[in-house]
Amino acid sequence: MSTSGRARFRSERTRNFTESVIREMTRLALASGAVNLAQGFPDFAAPAAVKDAAKAAIDAEHNQYTITWGTPALRRAIAGYYHRRYGLMLDPEREVTVCCGSTEAMVASLLATTNLGEDVIVFEPYYENYGPDTWLCGAERRLVRLEAPHWGFDPDALRRAFNSRTKAIILTNPHNPTGKVFTRAELELIAELCQEHDVLAIADEIYEHILYDGATHTPLMSLPGMRERTILVNSMSKTFSVTGWRVGWMLAAPDLSDSVRKVHDFLTVNSPAPMQQAAVMALGLDQAFFADLSGHYRARRDLLFDALSASPGFAPIRPAGAYYIMADISAFGFNDDVAFARDLMEQGGVACVPGSSFFENSRDGAHLVRFCFCKKEETLNEAARRLREYATQKGQSLAALPLASTSI
């Protein structure tokens, strides 16, 4: 069959799809033996008690379909967790839906709530999945720029982004890829505009426990007037270092949950049963487990940040949350971030994510790359050594390179 014949079988809604750059970098890193600081997943062990709970669940025959929106035990555990932690009251019967990771929770939420031609506001740079997510819905992204190095936004630009076609705003807080933690005042403005324009907020709060330098997390749903118009998306992946388990959830008022549950049911039926059972145990872990996460990641952030700062040519921006560092690589003099990332992988043995994959217009991210630091200390030390060596080699062929870094 001719190529044009095959193209006939490609749906319009997937026309712009490419392989995820983040996941492609992992594939290439595995093939080349590079230290993988691209895709955000830990290379250290998940908590033993959580793994034991999953193993015991398989032996106890938690191996069949669960209720499509999650086991009653897990929905109760999720509701209990949000009540203890944030004072949020959620009805486990009608307001909690367990999905296959926050990835599915996000796309199911968008599919259930947006129509062809409606607008979804997204802060840019943004996690690359939101592109395909909105294409699948036929929705238009309206972008509001977060400006480096502090990743603030112009309140008037946000106001202008809201219009009569706006259905939803996606908020990732703490933010991937920048590490920004939205201030209370910023959240209040978002909440005010959502209410003024009758817009839904979809809040991806997967990095809620990974915060530095005194930052705190406020669920958008907890702001006055937002309980009924927020879908909160989260998962076990980052908090319990089990990104491959695919246990996420979405929380929302009963009418919203009802629509999302139907999409979720027809997409995936249910999240893996034994892992749901383990999640019940994980969410009940002692407060100290959650409190320790930030300290654990702060040491890793500082290690990688210091390594980048000490490697001439990299200008890293210190994150306030999540587990990524954005670095300006203009000083290396490459044409763009993709050429740089390829060279760093091939010549330096370190994989990162090209910044352009977080921007609509690739030129806007051509001077940036993202490194993740959810890795063992020895992995980060090896990456630090390779980065310094790479920078030194490049430095010899380039004139004076700036040694710059920024904190937010």
Q: What is the binding site for ligand GLN (CB under 6 A)?
A: 22-23, 39-40, 103, 127, 176
Residue nearest to ligand GLN (CB): 40
Nearest to 297 by CA among 44, 39, 23, 22: 44
**Shortest distance in whole angstroms from residue 154 CB to ligand GLN:** 25
Closer Cβ to ligand GLN, 22 or 279, answer by number: 22
Closest to ligand GLN by CB, 22 vs 193, is: 22
Q: How far is the CB of 22 from ligand GLN (least distance, A)?
A: 5
Q: Residue 356 in contact with residue 365, Cβ under 8 Å? A: yes
* Contact by Cβ (8 Å): 208, 217: yes
- 176 vs 405, which CB is nearer to ligand GLN? 176
Write down the least CB distance from residue 355 to ligand GLN, Å.
13
DSSP strand pairing (368-372 vs 353-354): antiparallel
Helix H segments across 114-169?
130-137, 155-161
What is the strand order of the sheet 315-318 is part of? Answer: 353-354, 368-372, 324-328, 315-318, 406-407
CB-based contacts of 183, cutoff 8 Å, min separation 6: none
N- to C-terminal Cα separation, the chain: 55
Nearer to ligand GLN by Cβ, of 229 and 370: the residue is: 370
Least distance (Å) from ligand GLN to the CB of residue 27? 11
SS3 assignment for 23-91: HHHHHHHHHHCCEECCCCCCCCCCCHHHHHHHHHHHHCCCCCCCCCCCCHHHHHHHHHHHHHHHCCCCC
CB of 41 to ligand GLN, least distance (A): 6
Comparing CB distances to ligand GLN, the nearer of 207 and 332 is 207
Q: Distance between CA 351 and CA 194 in Å, rounded?
A: 38
DSSP 231: E
Residue nearer to ligand GLN on the CB measure, 103 or 311: 103
Given the complex with ligand GLN, which of 312 and 316 has the nearer CB atom? 316
Q: What is the DSSP string of 295-332?
A: HHHHHHHHHHHHHHHTSTT-EEEE-SBSSEEEEE-GGG
Could you tell me the smallest distance in angstroms from the CB atom of residue 103 to ligand GLN?
A: 5
- Residue number with CB closer to ligand GLN (77 or 304): 304
Q: Least distance (Å) from ligand GLN to the CB of residue 39?
A: 4
Contacts of 249 (CB under 8 A, 6+ apart): 70, 78, 96, 97, 98, 99, 102, 105, 233, 234, 235
Q: Nearest distance from residue 306's CB to ligand GLN, in Å?
A: 22
DSSP secondary structure letter of residue 401: P
**Tokens linked to 327:** 């670095």
Rounded Cα–Cα distance for residues 121 and 225 (Å): 19
CA distance 187 to 233: 16
Give how far Cα 145 sits from Cα of 148, 318, 365, 408, Å: 9, 18, 12, 16
CB 37 within 8 A of CB 381: no
- Considering the complex, state which of residue 21 and residue 303 has its C-beta at the smaller distance from ligand GLN: 21
Closest CA to 124 of 177, 86, 81: 177
Q: 162: which 2 tokens? A: 């809201």
Shortest gap between Cβ of 194 and ligand GLN (angstroms)?
Answer: 24
To the nearest whole angstrom, how small is the minimum distance from the Cβ of residue 178 to ligand GLN? 12
Q: Residue 376 Cβ, how far from ligand GLN at the closest point, in Å?
A: 17
Instruction: Between 40 and 348, name the residue whose CB sits nearer to ligand GLN.
Output: 40
- When the beta carbons of 167 and 370 are compared against ligand GLN, the nearer one is 370
